[in-house]
A and B are shown apart, each in its own frame.
Chain A
Amino acid sequence: MAEYGARWEEFEKGIREAEERDYQQVIDKTIETLAITTRATTLSKTLSSYMDWRDRALQEGLQILKEESTSITAAGQRDKWSSHFSKLGQEALKTILDSVKDYDKKAPNLRKFGEDVAGQESQFFASLARAPLAWFQGQVQQYTLEFYREMNNLEGKWKALGDQDRSVDDKVRESSKQILSLFQDTVKEFINKERGLEEDARTLVKKVKDAPSGTVPSSVKYPMQVVDWFLERLTALRKSTEEYAQRFQESYRYEDTIVVMFAQTREMVREFMEKTNLETAIREYNDSYKNSLEMANQCPTPRQRDDAKKFVEKGIYEVKRFLDKFNEEYKEFVDSNRGIFVGPVNEKTLEELLEVQERKRTWGELEQFNIQSKLRELHQHCITMFEVELEGLSDEQEKELKEFFKSEVERLGRGIVAASDDTVIDRVKTFFTLSQAALADKVRNSKGGKE
């Protein structure tokens, strides 16, 4: 018994009725009746064999729905399916027409029935050829492959972004260490040198006291070497700070590029998943099922429709396996990218990308050290270093020396003010605070898959 055997009932009934009509046209009963019976029996056998062939042909059709390969495409599967069933329709038509072509004289009604069956079977296969089962089977395999590939690609992209970011981070980390160390070393050196100011001041007082004329020798009022030393160091400090500020700015630009690429990749994932997603696949699956049943319903006879529907049910069962695979792949894609490229960016991703906490800590250290206030303190302290004992000097000498000390303090003060320039330090601060916050906002505000 054929698996798709509902049609047989119509064949049997049709042969019987056509045979009956042919009998009614018989003139010479003895000869013609036998001829009609023979032809009816032959047609019955032919159609019985045809039913077996049709069953096998439909099974072969199901094989198309079982094919699995990375090279499969929706269009390819659709063409293969449609070509398979078109060919079967052609073959069915020819087989059945050939079997009744000589029936005209003896059994015209049997021939007519055979011709009707041939046309109907051609339509049966044509309807199945239009069923979009294979198209969807190919389509969902394409989706699965795309998601698998993109999952690997995104893993690579995330790693590459991480690598690029790490090299920027390394530079920032190094620069941060260096600038802190520069500040610390400079301040330490300055503190060590502070005593030198006092000593030099005393030395000058002594030189004035020892001066024979009761005046202040002009050699005393030469710019103090120790102040020069401070100024040189302060200039160096300022230059280095400036360089570090530039390095941080450059790092920001690099990080901004990384963030832009990250945000754009998220946008691309969003667009990709907007077009292709599990809901789309399920909708297409349902449409494919519904349309295939509609195609089955377009078969000319009720029993053909029964066979075609049964076949569609079997077909959709095969196709469902591919939808399930896609479902798994899709979930894996979503899970592995959640918080990175899919859904809102999570804190872990943000941390990996921008090292928010580390930057905060680094800036905390720099801020805590506070080079500007340290320099200001130094300045205040340096002023006290010039407050040396002037006993033994004439009023004139005292006045003149105080003025000289004052000018030296002012010279040192200008150097300190220049070195602790707010704008440069602010640039460093901006890098560690505002710029980082802006980057973090960019990351957080970017839209990823399924958003």
Chain B
Amino acid sequence: VSDTLVKIGDSVLSGIKTEGMLQPDRDYSRLGFRVTWIEWDSDFRMAGLQIEDLIIEVEGKTLEAFLQPGKLGTAIGQPNESTQWQQAGTKPGQSVQLKVMRGEQTIEITAKLHPDYFYYDSKGRPALGPGGPPRLAHGEQFTEWAMWYERLVWKMSYILDGAWDWRSINNRREMEEHEAHKERVDYLLKMYPGPFADAVKSDWVVVREVLLGKLSDKVDLEYREIGAKRAEIVKQEAARVWTQYQKENVSETVASFPVDVNKRESIVGKLVELPWITIREIVSDLGKSYAVIGSFSDGFYIAPLSNPEIHSFYETMHRYKTQINPRLGERYQYVGRILDEPRMIAFQGRPITGLLIKVVAARAGQEELFVDLGKPDSEGKFEFAGEKAVSQLNTVAPPDNASPAEVVEAMIRAVKFADEKLWKSLFATWQVMVLDNGRAVYNPSYAPSHNVLLSAWEYSRKYITSDVYDARVGRVGPVRKILHKDESKSLPDAEEVHVFVDHYGLFGNEYRVFVNMNVNRRWTLQRLNNGPWRIINVEHL
């Protein structure tokens, strides 16, 4: 590079920007200086240093001395780093070795320091790179290059320095803003070709790639259509099986009303198809539940509900609600075998006499659920009509030894398939708070309120059925021990981990990961005494 285009100053610089990490933060297990930017002309770019690397040693020395309030300024990557290099007698062009942490890995990187460069363009104007563009341009399509570049670097540093995981950004909006620079970057390449323009273009492309979000060929959309489709399949199947059930049993089915307990001989043992009831016809008598079907004029049938068959029916109904339609209406119709048992129970404040029935089949909702209680499967359970026709969903609770990722995956699945109970069970009923001084306080009184949970649940369901097409665990941070067991103080062992969830949205015809205020990317999980991992932050998906 011609001497007229670059002049050398007195300072000694690394060409990197850092932020001092005085407290444990993000997922770093150590304190140090986090790289937030690497200048285009820094040797550290070529040496493989990356933004977000945590510098923990320089030339074999730890940085503890700098990690004090008021002592940060002369550390590597800080505004006055030159002072420190000079005091140490380090010269421009001299190599320095950094020890950095990248995730859980420790890496050594060696690169040369450089002097303070002052660039000029061909007209002798101060420039951003050798040959231009000028810091202050006049009469060109683009002016104010220095201010523009400073802002661009600030934003690119912001984005690349963990914005997805640790800051609140809207990547699509950032993307629009970033795209707006393209014309100027292209102009730069055309008008001021050279290493500076190449570096800017390269940085711009990298940031664009980051802002675009990961691309996915295939997202799990089954749950979206599955709701309506599965409900329809099951409803049709319920109607078909019900008609068939009626046909098969027509010979032993008797008219339901009127019924007289004193004239029951001819109907005992027969089947009766009872009219639909609601929960108003379900009563409790002497500690047991009964469905009362009938009237004072036509007589009553009484179906005991506190028995194993009905419990099985409720289990099946719960499965239906979890897998097919959580809003199944509370309407029921029973088919019962008439027993030779007159029974008197209290109904609407009056004793009524009716004939007991054993429920052998039941329907619920708007006729969309039918269960034949006479046909248990090999495990003694009952299927709802159509259950085999739709694929099984696994919204099962993760085992106690499930990994943090598995717990979050179970949470996502519970949202997708509307299993609120499972979803709730994955949140912690305690919290270990890490204070600003790094100390942890065990807070067993913490329990998410009903309203907070309800709101998070509703928004989760709302987003998974609208903007969020899929959600997957993107990465899992390192597990950190945040509290040590102390039985004398009733303190448990506590560990914490962050799990990062990728939310996929539909952009054009592509499914890409996105982030904005409406989705929660970072999930904090904790566990006590090696117990199950549970989610600490009650957020919507």
> B115 within 8 Å of A by Cβ?
no
- In the complex, the chain A residue whose C-beta lies closest to that of B263 is A253
Instruction: Mark B339-355 against chain A: 1 for CB-CB distance below 8 A, else 0.
Output: 00111111001110100
For the complex formed, measure the closest distance between the CB of A284 and the CB atoms of chain B, giving whole angstroms. 15
A300 touches B489 (CB 8 A): yes
**Across-interface contacts of B344 in A (CB, < 8 A):** 157, 160-161, 261, 264-265
Contacts known (A150-B286, A153-B285); A90 close to B445, Cβ less than 8 A? yes
- Report how many A-B pairs have Cβ atoms within 8 Å: 112
Instruction: Mark A308-325 against chain B: 1 for CB-CB distance below 8 A, else 0.
Output: 000000000000000000
Which of A58-66, A123-131, A413-421, A428-436 makes up part of the contact surface?
Answer: A123-131
For the complex formed, measure the closest distance between the CB of A237 and the CB atoms of chain B, giving whole angstroms. 29
List which B448-485 residues lie within 8 A (CB) of chain A. Answer: 449
A298 touches B287 (CB 8 A): no
B445 touches A126 (CB 8 A): yes
> A275 within 8 Å of B by Cβ?
yes
A86 touches B287 (CB 8 A): no
C-alpha spacing A240/B460, complex, angstroms: 80
Contacts known (A90-B443, A111-B437, A264-B341); A120 close to B287, Cβ less than 8 A? no
For the complex formed, measure the closest distance between the CB of A110 and the CB atoms of chain B, giving whole angstroms. 13
> B146 within 8 Å of A by Cβ?
no
Contact of B447 among A86, A118, A261 (CB under 8 A): A86
**Across-interface contacts of B342 in A (CB, < 8 A):** 257, 260-261, 264
> A355 within 8 Å of B by Cβ?
no
> B490 within 8 Å of A by Cβ?
yes
Instruction: Mark A60-103 against chain B: 1 for CB-CB distance below 8 A, else 0.
Output: 00000000000000000000001101111110110001000100
Which of A181-189, A266-274, A356-364, A379-387 makes up part of the contact surface?
Answer: A266-274
> B162 within 8 Å of A by Cβ?
no
Contact of A93 among B286, B343, B443, B447 (CB under 8 A): B443
B262 touches A257 (CB 8 A): yes
- In the complex, the chain A residue whose C-beta lies closest to that of B429 is A86
> A146 within 8 Å of B by Cβ?
yes
C-alpha spacing A261/B261, complex, angstroms: 10
A116 touches B443 (CB 8 A): no
- In the complex, the chain B residue whose C-beta lies closest to that of A90 is B445
> B259 within 8 Å of A by Cβ?
no
> A156 within 8 Å of B by Cβ?
yes
List which A98-150 residues lie within 8 A (CB) of chain B. Answer: 101, 104, 111-112, 115-116, 118-120, 122-123, 125-127, 129, 146, 149-150
For the complex formed, measure the closest distance between the CB of A222 and the CB atoms of chain B, giving whole angstroms. 49
B262 touches A112 (CB 8 A): no
Contacts known (A122-B445, A157-B344); A115 close to B288, Cβ less than 8 A? no
- In the complex, the chain A residue whose C-beta lies closest to that of B446 is A90
Contacts known (A85-B445, A88-B445, A160-B353); A123 close to B490, Cβ less than 8 A? yes
**Across-interface contacts of A104 in B (CB, < 8 A):** 437
B287 touches A264 (CB 8 A): no
> B388 within 8 Å of A by Cβ?
no
**Across-interface contacts of A161 in B (CB, < 8 A):** 344, 351
Chain B, interface size: which category?
A: 20 to 34
Contacts known (A101-B436, A161-B344, A300-B489); A86 close to B286, Cβ less than 8 A? no
Chain A, interface size: which category?
A: 35 or more
**Across-interface contacts of B437 in A (CB, < 8 A):** 104, 111
A116 touches B489 (CB 8 A): yes
A119 touches B443 (CB 8 A): yes
**Across-interface contacts of A90 in B (CB, < 8 A):** 443, 445-446
C-alpha spacing A121/B139, complex, angstroms: 69
A120 touches B446 (CB 8 A): no
A272 touches B439 (CB 8 A): no
Instruction: Mark B252-265 against chain A: 1 for CB-CB distance below 8 A, else 0.
Output: 00000000011000
B286 touches A269 (CB 8 A): yes
For the complex formed, measure the closest distance between the CB of A301 and the CB atoms of chain B, giving whole angstroms. 8
Instruction: Mark B173-185 against chain A: 1 for CB-CB distance below 8 A, else 0.
Output: 0000000000000
> B373 within 8 Å of A by Cβ?
no
> A404 within 8 Å of B by Cβ?
no
Contact of B435 among A97, A123, A125, A300 (CB under 8 A): A97
> B8 within 8 Å of A by Cβ?
no
> B241 within 8 Å of A by Cβ?
no
A83 touches B445 (CB 8 A): no
> B107 within 8 Å of A by Cβ?
no
**Across-interface contacts of A123 in B (CB, < 8 A):** 442, 444-445, 490
A264 touches B343 (CB 8 A): yes
For the complex formed, measure the closest distance between the CB of A175 and the CB atoms of chain B, giving whole angstroms. 17
C-alpha spacing A93/B342, complex, angstroms: 61
C-alpha spacing A112/B440, complex, angstroms: 11
Contacts known (A115-B439, A122-B443); A260 close to B285, Cβ less than 8 A? no
> B277 within 8 Å of A by Cβ?
no
C-alpha spacing A146/B436, complex, angstroms: 53
C-alpha spacing A93/B442, complex, angstroms: 10
B443 touches A164 (CB 8 A): no
B287 touches A272 (CB 8 A): yes
**Across-interface contacts of B489 in A (CB, < 8 A):** 116, 119-120, 300
**Across-interface contacts of B436 in A (CB, < 8 A):** 101
C-alpha spacing A159/B436, complex, angstroms: 73
**Across-interface contacts of B288 in A (CB, < 8 A):** 268, 271-272
> A254 within 8 Å of B by Cβ?
yes
Contacts known (A111-B437, A146-B287); A261 close to B353, Cβ less than 8 A? yes
Instruction: Mark A349-372 against chain B: 1 for CB-CB distance below 8 A, else 0.
Output: 000000000000000000000000
What are 10 contact pairs spanning A and B, CB under 8 A?
Answer: A89-B443, A112-B439, A119-B442, A120-B489, A146-B287, A153-B351, A156-B349, A161-B351, A269-B286, A272-B288
13 further contact pairs, Cβ within 8 A, besides A115-B441, A299-B490? A86-B445, A88-B445, A89-B443, A89-B446, A146-B287, A153-B346, A159-B351, A261-B344, A264-B341, A268-B286, A271-B287, A272-B286, A276-B287
